[in-house]
Amino acid sequence: MAEVKVPTLGESITEATVGEWLKAPGEPVALDEAIASLETDKVSVEVNAPVAGVMGQQLVAVGDTVNVGAVIATIEEGAGAAAAPAAAAPAAASAPAAAPAGDVEAAALSPSVRRAVLEHGVDPSTIQGTGKDGRITKEDVVAAAQGKAAPAPAPAAAAPAAAPAGARREERVRMTRLRQTIAARLKEAQNTAAMLTTFNDVDMTAVMEARAKYKDLFEKKHGVRLGFMGFFVKAACQALKDLPAVNASIDGDEIVYHDYADISVAVSAPQGLVVPVIRDAQDMSVATIEKTIGDFGKRAKDGTLKMEEMKGGTFTISNGGVFGSLMSTPIINPPQSAVLGLHRIEERPVVRDGQVVVRPMMYLALSYDHRLIDGREAVTFLVALKNAIEDPTRLLIDL
């Protein structure tokens, strides 16, 4: 019998929460197959089987907090172990039994499948799984969302009783460890920093024209689409070089200045906001920046970002415009001292050379720690960013 232990979760992370069991007692397990999912302060981590055999006892239940190195389950080694029934531990008495083929309601969903379900907004109980033992795969979810697969009829007994007209309902859902950490860090930022936000707007005409002119050549040469974030990251790096206080942090009674720009990019994931870091962005081309951001976004949705990829960072860019935000006051990501908020682009009347014309405009917001950054520096930073975006061709296109 082999013990399954909580793996090392990363520097300074000593505990996690059991998110879900991916294998039920009595189910066959392959070597290195994921049997459980743990939620840490930053990402979900899968626990893999140390040996092949049959799933034995689950020593902890979903929602329990476990420490690194703790034994959370056992596995009966060898193919012959299937003949020996595995008794579930009392803590896991509520764990579901092995699901028969096709029974998608009882089958456990892997983290990637669960994220796909949340992303596409489909009901997993209506999907006919094509995976092993009738389990739902990520492809099944995508196909169901696109209407390519006929949904499996839900058992009649599973249909909930109709609620009376006008009934008021409440549902209590335990906060994930990631959501708890986000809440604590945001409140910490408000309690610690002397936070202030300054605004400006930027005419996106030049960037949009440059993008339209060079996008085909850019994609052909670099193998990635030319977006707006590459322009803003590059422009921010240049502005941070001229205004080092915006790229600095406070450590006790000292100010730490950085001669590099590690840009944190806020990315929305199914379980909450994550902020991976583009390291040494000041040395990157627009193409490399775009590739890095695209990779972060994809892996954030899949839940495969590594914890070390979200550590550090000297400055954050958050793009609420992708969700339609017109204006916001973003909150600083400690111990950083500033965060740039981008917003949606919309046509507005502006005055150019004495004439009222329509231009694609975007509001910019810089929230900063007034203990370190003066208003002059904050405004100068936004003006420098605005100037770079409004004249990007010579400075930002890597062609």
CATH of domain 100-152: 4.10.320.10
Closest CA to 53 of 78, 84, 74: 78
DSSP 180-245: HHHHHHHHHHHHHS-EEEEEEEEE-HHHHHHHHHHHHHHHHHHSS---SHHHHHHHHHHHHHH-GG
Segment 189-215 shows an average pLDDT of: 92
> In this model, does residue 352 exceed pLDDT 80?
yes
What pLDDT does 216 receive? 92
Could you give the residue range(s) of every CATH 2.40.50.100 domain in the chain?
A: 1-98
Determine contact, residues 286/231, Cβ cutoff 8 Å.
yes
Token representation of residue 330: 């973003």
Q: Are 156 and 144 in contact (CB under 8 A)?
A: no
pLDDT confidence bin for 267, thresholds 50/70/90:
confident
pLDDT of residue 101: 38
CATH 4.10.320.10 placement within the chain:
100-152
- Condensed to tens digits (0 to 9), the pLDDT of residues 129-151 reads 776 567 787 677 777 877 754 44
Please state, rounded to an integer, the average pLDDT across all residues of the chain: 81
Q: How far apart are CA 383 and CA 172, in angstroms?
A: 46
- Does the pLDDT of residue 350 top 70, yes or no? yes
Lowest mean pLDDT among 177-191, 215-229, 241-255, 332-346: 177-191
Give per-residue pLDDT as tens, 55-80.
888 888 888 888 888 898 999 887 54
Q: How far is C-alpha 295 from the geometric centre of its chain's CA atoms? A: 11
Residue 102 clears pLDDT 50, i.e. is over it: no
Q: What are phi and psi of 362, to 5 degrees?
A: -135, 140
| Residue 331: DSSP 8-state | P
- pLDDT at position 305 over 90: no
**338 forms bridges with which residues in the sheet?**
368
- List residues bridging with 5 in a β-sheet: 71
The pLDDT, as a whole number, for residue 121 is: 74
Global pTM reads: 0.64
CA geometry: angle 204, 207, 209, nearest 5 deg = 105
DSSP string of 236-295, one letter each residue: HHHHHHH-GGGG-EEETTEEE--SS--EEE-EEETTEEE--EETTGGG--HHHHHHHHHH
Query: What is the per-residue pLDDT for 39?
Result: 78
Q: How far apart are CA 217 and CA 334, in angstroms?
A: 39
Q: Are 73 and 48 in contact (CB under 8 A)?
A: no
Listing DSSP states for 13-58 in one string gives --EEEEEEESS-TT-EE-TT-EEEEEE-SS-EEEEEPSSSEEEEEE
C-alpha to C-alpha distance for 23 and 62, rounded to whole angstroms: 12
259 pLDDT higher than 80: yes
What's the rounded Cα separation, in Å, for the pair 49 and 65?
20
Greatest C-alpha distance within the chain: 86
What are the residue ranges of CATH 3.30.559.10 in the chain? 177-396
Q: Give the lowest-confidence range in 212-216, 236-240, 299-303, 344-348.
A: 299-303
Identify the pLDDT of residue 158.
53
**Which residue type is seen at 388?**
A
Place 47 in a pLDDT band, splitting at 50, 70 and 90.
confident
- The 10 Å CB-count burial string (b at 16+, else e) for 226-251 is bbbbbbbbbbbbbbbeebebbbbbbe
Strands 346-352 and 277-278, sheet pairing: unpaired
The percent of residues in the chain predicted with pLDDT above 70, rounded, is: 81
CATH number for 177-396 (one of 3.20.20.70, 1.20.1250.20, 2.40.50.140, 3.30.559.10): it is 3.30.559.10
Q: Indicate the fold that domain 1-98 takes in CATH.
A: OB fold (Dihydrolipoamide Acetyltransferase, E2P) (2.40.50)
Provide the angle, in degrees to the nearest 10, between the axes of the packed helices 111-120 and 286-302.
100
**Positions marked catalytic:** 370, 374
Whole-number pLDDT of residue 162: 64
